[in-house]
Structure 1
Amino acid sequence: MKEFDKDQLFGQYVVFAIEKQLCALSIKEVVEIIRIQPITEVVNDRDYINGVINLRGSIIPVVQLRMRYKLPIVPFNKKTRIIIIRNEDEGIGLIVDEVLMVTHIEDEQLEPPLEMFNTIEKDCFKGFAKVNDQLVGILNLQKVLYPEEVKEG
């Protein structure tokens, strides 16, 4: 496994929930957070891509993170959000159950990915941080969005 690089991980993070797992993305990766809106289904080979939305004239693919991690699908509610991220000059929406906070994660709060934890694949995390006595997984967007392209043979 690659050496755990704490220096690249501390800073401001958007913390959100998927099922009972708390996850975070660097504020640098997040463009905006919007309420759920009509999603147009599209045929594609990745079943976790829910469809596309029209965001101020831009067509944005939307990833349902519950589908990505094979978690039970629940109806959207007033807390459901779409986190718009920028990945290699393309906007992508991530559907999450709830956005909880923006927080600062210090170097001493960080730990490398754990071998065993509850619901989501270990490789999808850069590391973990303890925030308000809860474990938060810092997502590795490349491995979340393109799992088949980063598996090592």
Structure 2
Amino acid sequence: MAGKRNPDVFDFTALKFEWPMPSFTNWSLAEREDRIEAKTVAGFQKMGTAMWSHAEKAFDEHMEFVSHRLHEDFECAKSLTQCVAPEQTLATLQNFYSKMATEYQEHFEQQAALFRDSFSQGAAAVEELNEAAMENVGELGKAAEETLADLKPARASTQPRAAAAAKPKK
């Protein structure tokens, strides 16, 4: 029992396969795989970060606008209670509505500019992700070529055996 060897769970060198098997170790593809994963995850993280930061900014600006408009609405209602003549009431309402229309227009222009900025940054992140995907395809193609190159010598060594086995013995 002293000479018995207990191989590690991930020790593949002791395994003998009959079919052509590429030589590999536990970490033979890890470096390439890690790079592919890192590029892909970084691209998605960048897209997610940009999306959430723009959504947060848009929501904050909109909530500030709504709060401001509610305050203005209550101020208008208070000033209407102090009007004593119809002309005064019309002037107050005309001021209120013209100011309100201007503020809504400015707010929607700001929101549209924020949306355009968010869209352009998102498109740039998608372009980077697309470039990473193309690089990943190239890396995977190289990995497939290397695997095929590893398999060719193994196939060549097993074919004469198969041919010899197929010949009838005399």
Question: Do these two structures clear the TM 0.5 threshold for a shared fold by scoring above it?
Answer: no
TM-score, normalised on structure 1? 0.19
TM-score, normalised on structure 2? 0.18
Structure possessing the higher relative contact order (Cα contacts under 8 Å, 6 or more residues apart): 2
Which structure dedicates a bigger proportion of its chain to strand?
A: 1
